[in-house]
Structure 1
Amino acid sequence: MVAAILLSALAMSVIVGVRYLLASGGFALATRIRQPGLYRGLEKQMGREIGWSLASALIYGAPAGVVAWGWQERGWTRIYSDVRDFPLWWLPLSVLLYLAAHDTWFYWTHRWMHRPKLFRIAHAVHHASRPPTAWAAMSFHPWEALTGAVVIPALVFLIPIHVGALGCVLTIMTIMGVSNHMGWEMFPRWMVRGPMGGWLITATHHQRHHDQYNCNYGLYFRVWDRLCGTDKGLGDFKKVGA
């Protein structure tokens, strides 16, 4: 049993690492096409980002692998595969609940990581990316990676979710994590500057966090930033326009 769990954890770490390389690599390629020269001179930084991110992939994969084994072999979780087990309206609602719960956890742990001592110990690794690139999405110190690695594995024990809906959550998490760091805005101006952008976090919003450090802590939504007075609005890009 122990060997099977370890194998599952290793396999999931490989999957997370490959997902990171494909997603970040894809957005880095899009950056080269859409914003040529944006990452010029950042080769060493990007190398560090990739190294830290692959280390984070090992940490993210370990609990995910244990949970995957428990789901398949012991039925430990509340993941279900038959869409008829819950009403169809639960599919989008479960995705929203997972995103809201993850966003809440991320906001408060991220803000906690900005306390001076914790920042020096862990979060400074992420902010060493100046400016961040598409490769920086998982560039975390191991202590910070641990805080992010436990969220989704914990939620699957609490909130029922279809395996396809869980895949949707992970896809959104990956896209938002990468696109928010790539140094330019892929979403149209009408969305970013309009009512929708007033509640959703995009690269333009997260850029201000990397510029000022003490604001814009959220991951998906601006709700907690607005409630807690830490929303400083949209940032800008020094090399290219938003």
Structure 2
Amino acid sequence: MAPEASFIAIIASAAAMTAIVGGRYLATSGLFAWITGRVLPGHYAGLDSQIRREILWSLASAAIYGIPAGVVAWGWQAHGWTRIYTDADTWPLWWLPLSVLVYLLLHDTWFYWTHRWMHRPRVFRVAHAVHHASRPPTAWAAMSFHPLEALTGAIVVPGLVFLVPIHVAALGTVLTIMTVMGITNHMGWELFPRRLVHSRIGHWLITASHHQRHHESYRCNYGLYFRHWDHLCGTDSGLSEAFSRSSPSSPARP
């Protein structure tokens, strides 16, 4: 392929991926915001200006996520650069679910340590304060990042596909989990059953009850999917007291 044609193809792939990421954000955050309105009418009352800011920052983040993803997608399709595979027999079938867990664990590790770095005072003021300006966070806040923070998140999965083999369907599962958990952890109420959140399994999983505590106290509960790094490093501060005081049908707004 001629250099000019390759350049055009890369730009087209990056633009398409940006549109996909932005559209996915609007559709999924919009869905969970609608669910919030149905379950808890008025829960986001008075937050219109905040939600508009969240959407604008998130659409900017969509481009920062979409550009590297688009370049990697082009490289995979045009040159086979990555370790993404489409034939399920390429690797043993047991690797399909295990690869999803490996990606989530590696992503969670990266997120935990970069998130702690984002809470260093100088970095927080420059970048992470944008995300914490959502008080309280809403279903629209999951991608509401300063460009510097968005960049730290945007390189993880595109980087992993060069290192860890994964079936395209398993990669889709990882991206779906990433999207859903990012949104549900910011909704301002607990979607998952109390029995799960307070169970032994819940002790190791991050849900809205856990992440809300981070938005209340800042210097704790840094994980993305799992709580093991918070447990190991002594940064786990438990669940939001505002959530624990509320009933499942009418969670309190902190």
Superposed pair shares fold, TM > 0.5: yes
Once the two structures are superposed, residues 191-232 of structure 1 have per-residue CA deviations (whole angstroms, 9 ceiling, x without a partner) of 000111100000000000000000000000001000000000
- Give the partner amino acid of 2:41: P
Corresponding position of 2:93: 88
Q: Are positions 1:241 and 2:251 aligned together?
A: yes
Task: Provide runs of 4+ in structure 1 moved above 4 Å.
Answer: none
- Name the CA distance, whole Å, in 1 between partners of 2:28 and 2:230: 27
Kindly indicate whether residue 54 of structure 2 is the aligned counterpart of residue 44 of structure 1: no
Distance apart, 1:61 and its partner CA:
0.2
| CA distance in 2 between partners of 1:11 and 1:203 (Å) | 31
Within 5 Å, give how 1:54-65 maps onto structure 2. 54-65=59-70
Q: Which of 117, 121, 128 is the equivalent residue of 1:116?
A: 121
State the partner residue of 1:152.
157
Amino acid at match of 2:27: L
**What residue in structure 2 maps to residue 76 of structure 1?**
81
Cα distance in 1 between the residues matched to 2:213 and 2:222: 10
Q: Which SS does the other structure have where 1:170 is aligned?
A: helix
Q: Deviations over 1:164-203 (max 9, x none)?
A: 0000000000000000000000100100001111000000
Aligned residue identity for 2:32: F
User: Unpaired runs of 5+ in structure 2?
Assistant: 1-5
Q: 2:138 maps to what in 1? A: 133
Is 1:11 aligned with 2:16?
A: yes
The one-letter amino acid of 1:221's match is F
2:40 is aligned with 1:30: no
Distance 1:210 1:171 in 2: 23
> CA RMSD, aligned part only?
1.0
The answer to whether the 8 A contact 1:80-1:160 is kept is yes
Q: Deviations over 1:20-43 (max 9, x none)?
A: 001100000000001111100000
Tell whether 2:206 aligns with 1:196. Answer: no
Gaps of 5+ in 1: none
Instruction: Give the Cα separation in 1 of the matches to 2:242 and 2:70.
Output: 38
- In 2, the alpha carbon distance for the partners of 1:179 and 1:142 equals 22
Secondary structure of the structure 2 residue equivalent to 1:9: helix
Could you say what secondary structure the match of 1:61 adopts? helix
Q: With structure 2 as the length reference, what TM-score do the two structures score?
A: 0.94
- Counterpart of 1:34 in structure 2: which amino acid? V
User: What do the CA deviations read for 1:30-62 (whole angstroms, capped 9, x no partner)?
Assistant: 000011111000000000000000000000000
Letter in 2 for 1:122: A
Q: Distance in 1 between matches of 2:242 and 2:87?
A: 45
The Cα of 1:154 is off from its aligned counterpart by 0.2
Residues 133 and 182 of structure 1 are in contact (CA less than 8 Å); yes or no, is this contact kept in structure 2? yes
Q: Distance in 1 between the 2:40 and 2:206 partners?
A: 21
**Match of 1:48, as an amino acid?**
R
Q: Find the aligned partners of 1:228 and 1:95 in 2 and give their Cα distance.
A: 24
- Give the CA deviation at 1:3: 1.1
Paired with 1:186 and 1:31, the residues of 2 have a C-alpha distance of 9
What secondary structure sits across from 1:135 in the alignment? coil
How big is the shift at 1:241? 2.8
Q: Secondary structure at the match of 1:146?
A: helix
